[in-house]
Amino acid sequence: MNSNVLQEVDERSNLAGTNKFELLLFRLGEEPQSSRRELFGINVFKVREALVMPQVTVMPGAPKHVLGVANIRGQIIPVIDLPAVVGCVPKTGLNILVVTEYERSVQGFAVEEVEEIVRLEWSKVLSAEANAVGGMVTSIARLEDDQTTRLALVLDVEKVLRDVLPSRVHEVKDTHNMGPALGLKPGAVILTADDSYVARAQIEKALQALHAPFVSTKTGKEAWERLQTLANEARAEGKRIEDKVQLVLTDLEMPEMDGFTLTRHIKQDERFKNIPVVIHSSLSGSANEDHARSVGADAYVAKFVADELAQTIRKAIAAHA
């Protein structure tokens, strides 16, 4: 393993809004059927640190695929056997712990080997439907150099956590605190963009509880194209686009076009600039929130607490009424 990789995670510059991001690449071992060692990736912004595997304390009755807990800088975190989750067999052991912060919780993923950090454009990342590695791959990154093209499987962390540690995923169960129906204009919708199936399901359940019609898309690029289609329909009907789309709710990390770029496109376009945009992301932190404001987003809310999401949407719509 390149020791520099462990030091670089905290040293990344902020790439927000450039439609670029950095991917931490790692191996999980061999696939039993093919003996291939696929390359996996996770966005560096989700990673707190990567370190040589610390001592893990086994917990009686721990969920399947949870090795136990580890003490990381005074914080006790669960350690997930990531190769076991995706069905790989490590040949040299679980050597590295990748500590991630996600949806307001911290957990460690045990992996066989960390390779490098690569910088690439979201346009080089293709959406993957839920048909690979048990539906745990959200997208596929094309890593190109002068000689070769490699593929890296970007894991759907929402899906992993939901399957292994469901208590850490905020389900939309009690909708009583979400308040009354949003009361959108007749014929208007909320346009959403999120590449994770689990996240889309949560968002849709929350919007249904608010009696808010919505159109769901899987990438920023798809949302941008859908918005232009709706603008054409509005013009043909003699309406404004705001009569068709009352708010855009977007994730940050998405194949082809990220949420910052989508927001900038919307706010720089005379047709769309008055549509409120709410960024809804597991990538919490003041740097991302500051950049959300700089590209024109009306609000930033961390995933996933349904009543906070509802309150944020309500305020954004009221501000544009």
Average pLDDT for 197-207: 88
Lowest mean pLDDT among 202-206, 213-217, 271-275: 202-206
Beta-carbon contacts of residue 203 (< 8 Å; ≥ 6 apart): 192, 194, 214, 216, 249, 280, 309
259-292: per-residue pLDDT in tens? 888 999 999 999 999 999 999 887 665 666 777 7
316 falls in which pLDDT band (50, 70, 90)?
very high
256 falls in which pLDDT band (50, 70, 90)?
confident
Residue 304 is predicted with a pLDDT of 79
Q: How far apart are CA 297 and CA 287, in angstroms?
A: 14
Torsion of CA 221, 152, 42, 137, to 10 degrees: 70
Q: How far apart are CA 152 and CA 154, in angstroms?
A: 6
Asked if residue 7 has pLDDT above 60, the reply is no
32-80: per-residue pLDDT in tens? 777 788 999 998 878 888 999 999 999 999 999 999 999 999 999 999 9
Q: Which of 226, 190, 157 is nearest to 298 (CA)?
A: 190
122-178: per-residue pLDDT in tens? 888 888 764 454 578 888 999 987 788 899 999 888 788 888 988 766 666 555 667
Q: How far apart are CA 270 and CA 78, in angstroms?
A: 48
Residue 254 is predicted with a pLDDT of 83
Burial (Cβ within 10 Å: 0-12, 13-18, ≥19) of residue 194: buried
Residue 129 is predicted with a pLDDT of 64
274 against 8, higher pLDDT:
274
Global pTM value: 0.76
Distances (CA, A) of 110 to 45, 66, 82: 18, 10, 6
77-117: per-residue pLDDT in tens? 999 999 999 999 999 999 999 998 876 788 999 999 999 99
Asked if residue 12 has pLDDT above 50, the reply is no
Residue 10 is predicted with a pLDDT of 45
What structural domains does the chain harbor? 1-162 (2.40.50.180), 187-317 (3.40.50.2300)
The percentage of the chain sitting over the pLDDT mark of 90, rounded to a whole number, equals: 50
Mean pLDDT of the chain: 85
Q: Is the dihedral of CA 188, 194, 200, 205 positive or negative?
A: negative
